[in-house]
Amino acid sequence: MRVDPVTDVLLAVDVQPDFMPGGALPVPGGDQVVPVINRLLAGPFRHAVATQDWHPPGHMSFASAHPGRAPFETVSVPYGVQTLWPDHCVQCTPGAALHAGLDQSRIELIVRKGFHPSVDSYSAFQENDRVTSTCLDVWLRARGFRRLFLAGLATDFCVAWSAEDAVRAGFEVVVVEDACRGIGLSTGPGRTTVDDARDHLRHTHGVRFVDSAELSAV
């Protein structure tokens, strides 16, 4: 697949230490996305955007904010069902920084999300209340970008939600599979949230999945 250096952009989702081995909410193999993303940034992509999970202490998505509840349980909140997480990506902590090994030289915009105390945010485009916009779509259109290539963490949550919202916003969307890793919660015999997210994005939203080796510059 040819990458257009003018109208294509790489979106690096939540490449942060807290989502990597040893972090507060580790994604299996999460650190393995960094060299793949760096190769993409050094190769076919001239433009990139990053997201950064950026929670205040005591955020409502933290299990610790709900006495008697444990991580990965769910609770009802005004905008629907909320998964509870371990405390992670707390503002101004080392785990919330973009990974030190990530090449940021082509990252032109960093979108911070999840900073409202009472609303979680997975998508780069819209918070989980499905009302509050990050305005990323406006910025992308103003810059003339038409196609988004997604990488980062985690495939089944923030990458998937960002991909779905990007399609809704009118962009063509491609997920670079080997530049992503998923949490992979079980959803049934032989199925995980990664399988469900991949099938949903492909069949409902027309999202393409590729390997980084398939990408080359125009």
Query: What pLDDT, in 10s, does the model give residues 31-41?
Result: 999 999 999 99
- CATH code given to domain 2-56+90-217: 3.40.50.850
Catalytic position from the list 53, 113, 137, 180: 113
Tell me the C-alpha distance between 215 and 218, whole Å: 10
The SS3 assignment for 22 reads coil
Amino acid at 206: G
Whether 14 sits among the annotated catalytic residues: the reply is: yes
Whether 165 sits among the annotated catalytic residues: the reply is: no
Tell me the C-alpha distance between 94 and 3, whole Å: 33
Whether 113 sits among the annotated catalytic residues: the reply is: yes
Please, is 212 exposed, middle or buried when counting C-beta atoms within 10 Å of its C-beta (0-12, 13-18, 19+)? middle
Q: List alpha helices for 136-186, DSSP H.
A: 136-143, 160-168
Q: What does residue 117 show for φ and ψ, rounded to 5 degrees?
A: -60, -30
pTM of the model: 0.94
Please, is 56 exposed, middle or buried when counting C-beta atoms within 10 Å of its C-beta (0-12, 13-18, 19+)? middle
Query: What pLDDT, in 10s, does the model give residues 68-103?
Result: 999 999 999 999 999 999 999 999 999 999 999 999
